[in-house]
Structure 1
Amino acid sequence: MKNRKLNQWFWKWHFIAGIISLPFVLVLSITGAIYLFKPKVENPIIENIQKIELQNQGEKLSYDQQWEIAQKNSKRKLNSVIISNKEQSTEFISGRFGGKKSIFIHPYSGEVSGTFQAKDTWMYKVRKLHGELLGGKIGTKIVELIACWMIILIISGIYIWFPFSKGIKGVFTIRFNEGKRILARDIHAVTGFWISILLLLILAGGLPWTDVFGGNFKKVQKWTNTGYSKTWRGIGLTSTVKEKRITLDEMITIANKENLSGTITLGLPKSPKSTFSVSNKTFPLSDQKMIHFDQYSGELIKSHDWSDVGSLIRGRMWLMAFHQGEFGGWNWYLVFLVAILLTVMSSAAIFSYLWRKPKGKLGIPKQPKNFKMSNGFVLVLITLGVVFPLFGINVVLIFLINIFRKPKEISKT
């Protein structure tokens, strides 16, 4: 038998978390499902730009010649080139992350085939809505807070609903003939139970992008030396300065000998003393490498593989890739299904609340009488507040409001 007062306490906090979160959860689940189609939107655009005619093209331009043309037509300094053995326009890149922009050079004519920047697509708006509710820094913090409350919703929801009385049958049963409120409640509870673990994994994959938790996570990586090493990023590695740097064609020939899989990027030297950096984005993640070469001699300076990556960054990269459905078809369909079911579950919760809410009242459950949180529960709340600072601040504010406000009603589950 469950502790009745503890169950009532959990119900109150599940209710509060739902009131705070559900409207935003609907936005995040819908935009998340749409954003999974990003490659299907962007890849055809890029492929069309890269397409070239192979007849009567003449002699192919060197990569250095193409780079000079690209740099003249780029407002920003180029930092890398994509190595490809296909007969297509060469992609040169400036900027990073959201500011990344590609300029494509026809390898035979030297013409600019086109440019591509994710910011110019409608999918970028979806991303901004999903990641920050179009609200900039404030928006990202709201999304982070909602993600924290979703974790509380999942944990408290499982405890409240778990079918001790109905047995295991309750995990599978949706009652269609007992009224619309019961139907909505069962859709919410049963669906929530089955996607709970996957949803926690997806939330864990999204949290590293947040400002507060994500920033603190990076600090922990640095303190514990469990992130990327400095030399992975080329820090501390230098080339022996000579009169002339090797050509891009020579460097690309050296890079191709590494037989890397996936999308191969050649990072250009940032200064006369820095290095060429060859990396690949591929799956499984364990096949990723980062290799640094002397920009004057082409000699290998440092080679990193996945075994050189710290444990925290490994977990972080795995979860972030899972969050975006990047591990293949099974991953994409699984995350898409969770996003759809989360939308259904959240909608059902809203309807269930509206159909049970007393007229003219919010229907917020009371704190159970004579209920005292155990030291264990207090410790759990403090721990969650430390790990998720925005959640901790939010809980303190709610408790303060609760102290100065006398509840007027007790709502039944």
Structure 2
Amino acid sequence: MKKNAKLNLWLWKWHFIAGIISLPFILVLAVSGGWYLFKDIIERPETDRARTVDVKGTPLSFQEQWDIAQKATTKQINSVVLPKTKNKATEFVSGRFSNTLESVYINPFTGDITNHRVVRNTFMYKVRKFHGELLMGSFGTKIVELAACWMVVLVLTGIYIWWPKQKWKSKRLFSIRTGHGKRILFRDLHAVTSFWISALLLLILAGGLPWTDVFGHNYKWLQEVTHTGYPETWNNSNYRSVKQGDPVPLDSVIQLTYGLQLPGKTTITLPENEKGVFTVKNETPALENQQIFHIDRYSGKIIGKDQWKNVGVMMRSRMWLMNFHEGKFGTWNFILVFLTAVLLTLASASALCSYLLRKKRGDWGIPPVPPQYKAGKGIIAFIILLGICLPLFGLSLIIIYGSYSIKQRFSWSVKNTGLIQKG
């Protein structure tokens, strides 16, 4: 593409501003996010010890195990994870959100509690909270969201700036000059590395934004008004058990669940009250294999079911991107996201080194843009659209532009009232 020199300078200026705003947080998010990818590997030894039991004798009924687990915690047990083999402890879970989850593991042969795990007390939970909100609660979440928004700007402006002015040459994709001084070396290292991860980085950012407060809230609202989320048949609150006699034991529901032969991790949500239902759902990296079933607690019969193919397009997109963000699609996904985190750290560090080597004392190093230059209507329209889609970015842009306008007016006022005199 043919580049506009003035537009290139203008975008370089905004690329610099985006870097100033987001660079410290990029380093934090890249390192903490890369670390969190190893959650399952780090926690596996502990969970394996909790879940693995010796097979001996006749196991207790699941109903009896449920009673033992309930006595071991002050919270109401609300779900049970289906054991896949006989040598696995039964996991009973209380809490519905990440900060309230507790798991009690019961040895089905002895009734002993093999582990009582409180998620919020684990080290990797703290890493996740640091990655998502900088350990600052809702305020921290908004800071992370703002940094993510400006990262999008960094990627888009960076691609345009890096794109060669002259005829395209494939060696540009790999060209890192080593004999032209440190600044050029760090500059090329930043530019080439950033280009190679740009598409993946945008995907990862898209997968993280649904967790945020402002963008995530707006996304959920749009999902609701367009009816592109979960179908009503997915939600167990739309079903009621018809009371007739005594409730069926948990063992009957579990046997029915085994018969469904669902792939992946299968969880049975327990009824909350007399009219509540059992809800069976499975989690698997292959999202299209996820299903959900609702079972009457008195008759033990399936009264509702649904499949992933009936989930709305916005929810399907959201879940795919969020799973990709966490590297849940298997080894290939894990490697891609971890490699992106490593290269993003390298690109950010090299950008900082290049800038410090380029920057002159007393000068921010922002390239001057001709004052008469006005960005085209297409660019302005795109920025407005980006500001609408990413509200915190739009708000920060208004603040920056407002501050700049006030500064310009103040400078003009000082100059024209003679407060600044030569000599």
Coarse TM-score class (shorter-chain normalised): over 0.9
Partner of residue 397, structure 1: 399
What is the root-mean-square deviation of aligned Cα atoms in Å?
Answer: 1.4
What's the secondary structure of 1:405's corresponding residue? helix
- Matches of 2:45 and 2:129, distance apart in 1: 22
Q: How far off is 1:124 after superposition? A: 1.6
What's the secondary structure of 2:91's corresponding residue? strand
1:282 maps to 2:284: yes
Q: Please tell me the residue identity of whatever aligns with 1:386.
A: I
Superposition pairs of residues 104-143 of structure 1, within 5 angstroms = 104-143=105-144
Partner of residue 29, structure 1: 30
Superposition pairs of residues 9-408 of structure 1, within 5 angstroms = 9-54=10-55, 57-86=56-85, 87-98=87-98, 99-165=100-166, 167-168=168-169, 169-406=171-408
- Matches of 1:404 and 1:360, distance apart in 2: 22
Q: How far off is 1:74 after superposition? A: 0.9
Q: How far off is 1:166 after superposition? A: 6.3
Question: Which runs of no fewer than 5 residues in structure 1 stay unpaired?
Answer: 409-413
TM-score (norm 2): 0.93
Q: How far off is 1:85 after superposition? A: 3.3
CA contact under 8 A between 1:46 and 1:116: conserved in structure 2?
no
Partner of residue 415, structure 2: none
- Matches of 1:6 and 1:180, distance apart in 2: 27
CA contact under 8 A between 1:176 and 1:183: conserved in structure 2?
yes
Q: How far off is 1:231 after superposition? A: 2.5
Larger mean CA deviation between 14-23 and 112-121 belongs to 112-121
Measured against aligned partners, the alpha-carbon deviations of 1:160-210 in whole angstroms (never above 9, x if no partner) come to 110132632222100000000000000010011111001100100111110
Larger mean CA deviation between 204-213 and 225-234 belongs to 225-234
CA contact under 8 A between 2:327 and 2:337: conserved in structure 1?
yes
- Matches of 1:298 and 1:40, distance apart in 2: 38
CA contact under 8 A between 2:103 and 2:117: conserved in structure 1?
yes
Larger mean CA deviation between 242-251 and 166-175 belongs to 166-175
Counterparts in 2 of 1:196 and 1:227: CA distance versus 1, 3 Å: same
- Matches of 1:135 and 1:288, distance apart in 2: 34
- Matches of 2:191 and 2:112, distance apart in 1: 58
- Matches of 2:304 and 2:369, distance apart in 1: 60
- Matches of 1:170 and 1:398, distance apart in 2: 34
Question: Between the two proteins, what is the percent identity of the paired residues?
Answer: 49
- Matches of 1:105 and 1:226, distance apart in 2: 39
What's the secondary structure of 2:407's corresponding residue? coil
- Matches of 2:368 and 2:237, distance apart in 1: 56
- Matches of 1:166 and 1:129, distance apart in 2: 45
Q: Please tell me the residue identity of whatever aligns with 1:94.
A: S
Q: How far off is 1:406 after superposition? A: 4.5
CA contact under 8 A between 1:263 and 1:280: conserved in structure 2?
yes
Q: How far off is 1:369 after superposition? A: 1.9
Measured against aligned partners, the alpha-carbon deviations of 1:131-164 in whole angstroms (never above 9, x if no partner) come to 1111111110000001000000000001011013
- Matches of 2:94 and 2:130, distance apart in 1: 25
- Matches of 1:271 and 1:381, distance apart in 2: 51
What's the secondary structure of 1:167's corresponding residue? coil
CA contact under 8 A between 1:147 and 1:203: conserved in structure 2?
yes
Counterparts in 2 of 1:130 and 1:166: CA distance versus 1, 3 Å: farther
Q: How far off is 1:342 after superposition? A: 0.2
Q: How far off is 1:89 after superposition? A: 1.4
Q: How far off is 1:367 after superposition? A: 3.9
Larger mean CA deviation between 98-107 and 142-151 belongs to 98-107
CA contact under 8 A between 1:141 and 1:212: conserved in structure 2?
yes
- Matches of 2:162 and 2:115, distance apart in 1: 55
Q: Please tell me the residue identity of whatever aligns with 1:58.
A: G
CA contact under 8 A between 2:83 and 2:89: conserved in structure 1?
no
Q: How far off is 1:274 after superposition? A: 1.7
Larger mean CA deviation between 217-226 and 231-240 belongs to 231-240
Measured against aligned partners, the alpha-carbon deviations of 1:266-312 in whole angstroms (never above 9, x if no partner) come to 11011211211000001211000011111111111111111111100
Measured against aligned partners, the alpha-carbon deviations of 1:41-84 in whole angstroms (never above 9, x if no partner) come to 12221110122223xx4331111111011101111001000111
CA contact under 8 A between 1:198 and 1:338: conserved in structure 2?
yes
- Matches of 1:93 and 1:33, distance apart in 2: 28
Measured against aligned partners, the alpha-carbon deviations of 1:387-411 in whole angstroms (never above 9, x if no partner) come to 1111000000000111122499xxx
The number of equivalent residue pairs is 406
CA contact under 8 A between 2:105 and 2:116: conserved in structure 1?
yes
Larger mean CA deviation between 71-80 and 160-169 belongs to 160-169
Partner of residue 411, structure 1: none
Q: How far off is 1:21 after superposition? A: 0.7
- Matches of 1:355 and 1:384, distance apart in 2: 32
CA contact under 8 A between 2:233 and 2:305: conserved in structure 1?
no
- Matches of 1:208 and 1:368, distance apart in 2: 39
